Structure formats: structure tokens, C-alpha cells
Amino acid sequence: MIRITLAFFGLIPMPLLGCSSPSGIVYGDQVLAGIDMHLHTGEWDKIPPSTQNYLAERFPFPLNLNPEPLAEDTLSAQGVVDQLDNAGLEKGVVFAVYAPHSVGIATNAEVMELLDAKPDRLWGLASLRVDQWNTEAENQLNNLREALNHPRMIGIKLAHAHMHIRFDDPQYDSIYALAGELEKPVYLHTGPSPFNGTLADPPYTNPIYLEESIKRFPQTTFILGHMGFDFLNKAEGNLEECLALGKRYPNVFFEPSALGSGASDPDGTLYTKVLRRTKEEGLIDRMIYGSDGPQFPGFLADYATRTRDAMKAAEYTADEAQAVFKTNFERVFGLNP
């Protein structure tokens, strides 16, 4: 029954919104290929209750009364691929997460299970624990290095606000150094998060505090997730700081996930502004598409549609849209076919 329900809700946006097809994203008279670089997996039981509640509230009634089966199904390898298909996206990148204070834990091993189950469709970003860094740093870095040996683990995921570490704390430089050594880009959550248990003060959310590390590690690629969006106040947050860092450093990239969702930006105004400012600054070649899904069935398709619409409103050409949806990702992660 869950499968039927997923298909039912997942397919709704396609004919209604006319954005995605099984083979791509319709943009004017062209069909674009797309890759979603921000997807999640995990086990319901490992998510803290407040976050379970936050997620369950997004499910339709009465699935929100018993969200675990639907969530587990949506977060499985097949569930993620079903959502990619529904959105007309070719491939996706699944994140490992170590955020016991907020959204919970999705281990590197769990992500690798997904990658092995769908090796033609999924890549992964590995992560590490930092909550006992004084004594565990070496072990954690070794574990991270080992996870990155997996052929489809292509980068590192960090979320300073969730992990309670400052952007300007040099004791975590060893992570950036490892990323540079292995040529694996680092994705970092930026901007205040809506989840309980996260820290919203600027040193944890404003990427300008990361500038010294960006300077110290020019060989490391930094991807600023959510482009500094303020999810607490549903405002652009640190967008200008992100763009300024992009202008100053060639190893800085952006990812605009979640900020353009129906919950964060109902009429698309903020998303359009983010995309327009990126274009005005000549930084489209630094932007990589991601959604922050699957969240709930149909979210990936909805976000791709919203992105397409915001790109049109920001007057992106088809080539520019294609760069954001796919080719920038392939270039940054060294996955050119």
C-alpha cells in the first residue's frame, strides 16, 4: 500500500505542473538533464522526536499519524530513486549526517548501502562525528578517509550549526586538509536552521566566518549549502556573504536547496532573487542544484519545478540552467563523462 501511495502522491505534480518528464526537466523548448546533489537517507528511529514531529507534519493526513513506514520507504534506495524518476532527474547525491543534537544520524555505512544498491543512480557524501573531537579526531578522520575510499563517495558533508562547531574554529582545519588532499569537495550547511537543537549564532551559520579556512586551503572546494538562507525568518540571510566569498575565492561554490520550497518561499520571490543575484555577480558557474529531499513524496519533483520557474523569472538561459542542474556538478566533482 505504501508503494501505491508513494506513486499516487509522487506522480501528482508531473502532469499538473508540466515541469519534469522521466527524461529531464522541460525548460522552454529544451529538455534539461538534472542531478540533485542534496538528498537524505536514514532510519526513523535515529531521528530525535522533535525532528520526527517536524517531518511528520509535512505528510498528508492520515499518513502523518503513522509516518514511520512512509518515511522509511521514502528514505530507502528504491524510494530515493523513485523520487528522482518522478522529478525527471538522472542521479542524486545522498548525505551521511552526524547531528545527534538536531536531525539525528545517517551513518557512512548506511549511505554506502544505498550506493551499492543503486550504483548507477546514486553518489554519496561522507561525514564524521565531531562531538568528542579532542580525543576522537584522529579516529574520526581515519574513518572518514576510509569511507571516502568507496568509489561512489565523492565528497564530505558538514553542518556546523547542527554539529555545534564554529566556522572559524581552526581545530577542524584537518577536515578541510583531508578534503583537499583527496580532492573531495566539502559541502557545508550555511544559514540558521529550522530544526530544534541547532545553533543560530553567526559563527555557526554565517559563512563569512569560514573565510580564513577558505584562504588557508585553496586546494579544497567549499560548497556553501542553502546559500546562507535564514530558515528561521524565511529571509535571504547570508546570501551576500556567500556571493562575496564566491567573488573572492575560486574554490567557493553554492547550492540553493530548500530555500525555494513551498514552506520557505511560497511565491518564489526569494528563490528568484537568489538566482538573479547569482547571475548579476557572474557566478552561475559556481551554483550546483540540490533540493534537500526527499522530505515527503513528490518533494523532488516540486523543487525541480520551483527551481525551473525561478530560473525563468531570473532570466536564465537554457545553457545557464543546464549548468546549474548538471554540468557544474560534474565539473566540480570531476565526474565529466
Chain contacts with another protein (rule: CB under 8 A): 5, 52-53, 56-57, 59-68
CB of 199 to another protein, least distance (A): 16
CA–CA distance from 12 to each of 58, 73, 167, 261, 266 (Å)? 16, 18, 41, 17, 18
Residue among 54 and 249 whose Cβ is closer to another protein: 54
Shortest distance (Å) from residue 131 CB to another protein: 21
How close are the terminal C-alpha atoms of the chain, in Å? 39
Burial code (b: 16+ CB inside 10 Å, e: under 16) for 202-221 equals bbbbbbbbbbebbeebeebb
Considering the complex, state which of residue 63 and residue 288 has its C-beta at the smaller distance from another protein.
Answer: 63
CB of 321 to another protein, least distance (A): 30
How far apart are CB 2 and another protein at their closest, in Å? 12
Shortest CB 61 distance to another protein, Å: 4
The CA distance from 201 to 234, in Å, is 16
Q: Which is nearer to another protein, 124 or 298 (CB)?
A: 298
User: Considering the complex, what minimum distance in angstroms separates the CB of residue 49 from another protein?
Assistant: 9
Separation of alpha carbons 76 and 73, rounded Å: 5
Contacts of residue 228, Cβ cutoff 8 Å, sequence gap at least 6: 190, 191, 205, 206, 207, 236, 237, 238, 239, 241, 242
- Cell numbers 529544451 correspond to what residue? 30
State the minimum distance, in angstroms, from the CB of residue 200 to another protein. 17
Q: Which is nearer to another protein, 67 or 294 (CB)?
A: 67
* Contact between residue 237 and residue 207 where contact means Cβ atoms under 8 Å apart: no
Which of 257, 260, 241 shows the shortest CA–CA distance to 249? Answer: 241
Between 5 and 327, CB nearer to another protein: 5
Here the cell at position 317 is 538561459
Nearer to another protein, 62 or 151 (CB): 62
Which of 243-280 are b and which e, b meaning 16 or more Cβ less than 10 Å from the residue's Cβ?
bbbbeeeebbbbbbbbbbbeebbeebebbbbbbbbbbe
Choose between 109 and 263: whose C-beta lies nearer to another protein: 263
Identify the residue whose cell numbers are 557545508.
Answer: 188
